Structure 1
Amino acid sequence: MPSFRALLGSLIGAQVAYSRLPERHLVPATRGIVGLMLAASTVEAAEARGPRRGPALVATAGAIGFAAELVGVATGKPFGHYSYSEKLGPKVRDVPVAAAAAWAMMARPSWVAAGHVAGRGGRLRRLRRVGLAAAALTAWDVFLDPRMARDGFWSWPAGGRYEGIPATNFLGWLGTSAGVFAVWSLVEGDEPPTAADDGALALYAWTWIGETFAHAAIWRRPVVALAGGAAMGAVAVPALLARRAGR
């Protein structure tokens, strides 16, 4: 099995190459990058938390997120009314199976980043970490939804004020993410991140930097670059500073 470092290097290379691909290759390339990012996150979790516990945590995030998507597409709650196209592949009740990956692949990076900035304080620290991790994962969606909706992977019929996306979407992400991390907090306890978790933090930091640059310089979406960069940076910067101070 490839190491996390090898997978992260491959992911970065694939994401850099993506901007140079002709349009006809973008859909399969997007699927490939999703699979590569999920693999990197899962392997990192296995290396840091063990071959059973780590992937089980990632799978739990994907399962909770996918369940929320099933409810969301069917009822419009908690994300608002939206629908998926056929571009992400096979579906279950109108939700692509690949949608679970969006929740799974950035859950641990968000959890680790939040752990660096949650501070001290026993039970209060645990609650802060759950809230911060939920905010960190939702911050990534500030990048994700505008890009994927623009490329036709899903759509919002009624639109919304932020790049055609309603505020209910982000509230839904925040609530669903909080549910994911509430479960994780029961399993992970209150232990702060260690050097073994640096890979997850690196994945969060790279995603923040890479998405900000791509939206600003390649896709020419300054509003998304500013909003997503600020949202993810609000967690990434203090997490990186805290990790550096803890060395």
Structure 2
Amino acid sequence: MSGLVVARAGSRPAAVPWVPAVLLVLTAIAYPLTEGGAVRDAVSWTIVLLGSTVSVVHAVVSRGARTGAGVLLATAATAVVFESVGLATGFPYGEYTYSDDLGPTLLGVPFLVPLAWLMMAWPSWLLAHRLTRGGRRAVRVGVAAAVFAAWDVVLDPQMVQAGYWTWAHPQPSLPGIDTVPLTNLAGWLLAGLVLMTLLDLLVARTALAPPRTGDGAPLLVLGWMTLGGAVAHAGWLGLPGSAAWGVLLAVPVLVALAVRNRRP
């Protein structure tokens, strides 16, 4: 009986990241069902806050407090550096401006932006780790950076539509997406390579081994924000191009995961 009590107590931390993950899914469902303005802004803020919470809490629970703190600090610092340089120079994303709807800023970067990076970065690294388990660091970092950039392919048109930022020169762009330039994708790939290298080194030096929990909660966030976002774009938001790209980019990953999980 005492062993059963200990097992149940030990399983409680593993459930903690699932709470904000499930709340994020429910909130994301509400986004396309709301009208524009203050209500939709509040929904957007809530999604990002919940997503960043999932990342930090999961990193702490699964890999330890040092890893969780490192994920938070490394991601936030990298985001502020890249975004502030991007705003000042146009490199590496292209020339863009933020609206006042995103609230307070640091070096011109709205506080919401590093939190959005945090929501995206940790799940991207986890998925790459799962896809490339046993592989070289360079491969894992490259896959993680690609996932990181692909996620933005789906999300960026939605944020432009909401008026959160505007591109000075949105062309040339991906087919079907005429509001976001290709330079943005190149910038996300570069930023992703830098950030994922930092996260990979961080995990190697600080993480508990083996992880104390599975990676289901952050991977749910990644999957829902990509595929669920594609459904919302196609059905409610009038963004068929980014919806198609979301499906196109997600299918190879799902196939790779299925193949990977079938291997002995």
TM-score by shorter chain over 0.5: yes
- Show the counterpart of 1:229: 247
Cα 1:8/1:71, change in 2 over 3 Å: same
* Other-structure match for 1:69: 83
Residue of 175, 189, 214 corresponding to 2:232: 214
What SS does the corresponding residue of 1:115 show, helix, strand or coil?
Answer: helix
> 1: distance between equivalents of 2:147 and 2:141?
10
Partner of 1:180: 195
Aligned positions of 1:165-176 closer than 5 A: 165-176=180-191
Would you say the 8 A contact 1:204–1:236 is kept in 2? no
Shift of 1:182: 1.1
> Is residue 67–residue 203 contact of structure 2 (8 Å, CA) maintained in 1?
no
- 1:180-199 superposed matches below 5 A: 180-189=195-204, 196-199=214-217
Amino acid at match of 2:140: R
Shift of 1:15: 0.9
Q: Give TM-score scaled by structure 1 length.
A: 0.89
Q: CA deviation at 1:49?
A: 1.1
User: The residue matched to 1:155 in structure 2 has which SS?
Assistant: strand
Structure 2 regions of 5+ residues with no counterpart? Answer: 1-12
Tell me if 1:13 matches 2:26. yes
- Please show how residues 98-247 of structure 1 align to structure 2 within 5 Å: 98-118=112-132, 120-121=134-135, 125-160=136-171, 161=173, 162-189=177-204, 196-239=214-257, 241-242=259-260, 244-245=261-262
Other-structure match for 2:3: none
Match of 2:33, SS state, is coil
Whichever residue aligns with residue 217 of structure 1, its letter is G
1:53 aligns to 2:64 (yes or no)? no
Seq. identity, %: 33
Structure 1 CA distance, aligned partners of 2:59 and 2:74? 12
**In 1, Cα distance between equivalents of 2:122 and 2:227:** 18
Which residue matches 1:42?
Answer: 56
> Mean Cα displacement is larger for which, 48-57 or 170-179?
48-57
Aligned-residue RMSD, C-alpha: 2.4
1:219 is paired with a residue whose SS is coil
| Cα deviation 1:48-106 (Å, max 9, x = unaligned) | 11133224213312220221000000000011100100111101232212111121111
Kept in 1, the 8 Å contact 2:30–2:43? The answer is no
Q: What is the CA–CA distance in structure 2 between the aligned matches of 1:237 and 1:7, rounded to whole Å?
A: 27
CA distances 1:182-202 after superposition (whole Å, capped 9, x unpaired): 112222239999662233323
Q: What whole-Å deviation, never above 9, does each CA across 1:196-216 have from its counterpart, x for those lacking one?
A: 223332322222221121112
Separation (CA, whole Å) in 1 of partners of 2:195 and 2:210: 18
Give the conservation status (yes or no) of the 8 Å contact 2:227–2:250.
no
Give me the TM-score of the superposition, normalised by structure 2. Answer: 0.84
| CA deviation map 1:26-66 (0-9, x unaligned) | 11221121111111221111111113322421331222022
Matched positions, count: 243
Give the counterpart letter for 1:95 in structure 2: V
Which whole-Å CA distance do the structure 2 matches of 1:87 and 1:196 have between them? 36
> d(CA) in 1 for partners of 2:245 and 2:144?
18
Q: Which has the larger radius of gyration?
A: 2
